[in-house]
With several copies, the nearest count.
Chain A
């Protein structure tokens, strides 16, 4: 996989660039001061974790329609990475909360959302590990991730309504609370892009690895290879 290696290198460089920007270009913000720099890790992490969730659901759907184990592999990998980024978002968020609100955890709506996201990821893993037959596992966990994606909107809409939020609105509705000067905004966007790229590279890597492992199993003397 030469081109994969190349894109790896590019991603790495971009990452270095962004980190540099975060630490040396972005000016400290009044109120948050130096700590604002966490935002550039926190937000991308949060976004990737949400995106991965959706992706994994999409692949789950593909699997259920075409019983090709390939798609389940993708769905599982996406979920795995999503879980990882979700943890990052939670931790960075928690730190951020400690800095800005003075408490690591106080069931702020956003925290609740991401926590439930964590639970959903965890649940789907518990489910996966409890099933041994490959097809069964693929089928059931696909169904589960679809079910959870159906429920997700309710979480996103309901929770903010029942808990007063201190949390600034995410960047998409770009009325970001902290007056974002262009440098910050661009850095943030760059960070998001890099994070996505990172996700993609990791994703490809893990898919390759699992595929190789499965093939190895198939070719081993006992097992499908017998065919």
Chain B
């Protein structure tokens, strides 16, 4: 990994017309640290992650992503530093798993070697179905595909929203391994989850009441 990312949340507040999700959250996440976001359904975990990814605006306060602890990362180049695993991440159904990863990588401004893509598909146990259209994938296989994408993009900041949903025990184990490995490689990870055991990776915690 060339560079690492530091995430600063400065008084982040988000409310929708009718309700306030969270207010004045301030945190600083260093490379190699894991921040877990917990809370009941509808408490705003995914929203917070989307705010950090830049897809949703804060109501007040702001997010600073710093490359190698100094340079600020501008909105338009964020894509290159962030990997997002989310239930809302949807693949192109008529394309195969391989094509999806290849396309998204290219669209985000990097060309990946075919064997590298295949290797990461292998890693998540999809090498068999690499060339089947995603519409034929099972929910679990789609979830695995998201991690294959993450491995290919290999960004310095991971945003994981319910990473192990729809996965079988083997899959859950795989995710745990990936997270551990990533942390050792000084990746910053922000993890929104409902599972108690996933909260254990945390160096820091945010609990949205």
List the interface of chain A (C-beta within 8 A of B): 135, 222-224, 226-227
Known: A227-B13, A227-B23. A222 touches B59 (CB 8 A): no
Q: Please give 16 more A-B residue pairs, beta carbons under 8 A apart, in addition to A223-B15, A227-B15, A227-B23.
A: A135-B57, A222-B17, A222-B18, A222-B19, A223-B17, A223-B18, A224-B15, A224-B17, A224-B59, A226-B15, A226-B19, A226-B20, A227-B13, A227-B20, A227-B59, A227-B60
CB neighbours (8 Å) of B59 from chain A are: 224, 227
What's the minimum C-beta distance from A138 to chain B, rounded to whole angstroms? 12
Q: Mark B95-109, 1 if CB is under 8 A from A, else 0.
A: 000000000000000
In the bound complex, how far is the Cα of B20 from the Cα of A227, in angstroms? 8
Report chain B residues within 8 Å CB of A223.
15, 17-18
Output the least CB separation between B26 and chain A (Å).
16
| Total B residues in contact with A, Cβ cutoff 8 Å | 10
Residues of A within 8 A of B23 (CB): 227
B13, B20, B23, most chain A CB atoms within 10 A: B20
Hey, which chain B residues are within 8 Å of A224, CB to CB?
A: 15, 17, 59
Q: How far is the CA of A223 from the CA of B23 in the complex (A)?
A: 13
Scoring B residues 1 to 25 as 1 if CB is less than 8 Å from chain A, else 0, what string do you get?
0000000000001010111100100
Residues on A with beta carbons closer than 8 Å to the beta carbon of B57: 135
In the bound complex, how far is the Cα of B4 from the Cα of A159, in angstroms?
57
B95 to chain A, nearest CB (A): 15
Bits for B25-62, please: 1 = Cβ < 8 Å to A, else 0.
00000000000000000000000000000000101100
Question: How far in angstroms is the closest Cβ of chain A from B82?
Answer: 21
Measured CB to CB, the closest approach of chain B to A26, in angstroms, equals 54
A218 and chain B: residue at smallest CB distance: B17
Cα(A224)–Cα(B15), bound, Å:
7
CA distance A226 to B24 in the complex (A): 13
The CA of A135 and the CA of B59, in the complex, are separated in Å by: 11
Would you give the 0/1 interface string for B113-137, flagging 1 where the beta carbon is closer than 8 Å to chain A? 0000000000000000000000000
Q: How far is the CB of B164 from chain A (nearest CB, A)?
A: 32
Q: Which residues of B contact A226 (CB under 8 A)?
A: 15, 19-20
CA distance A224 to B60 in the complex (A): 11
A91 to chain B, nearest CB (A): 38
Q: Which residues of B contact A222 (CB under 8 A)?
A: 17-19
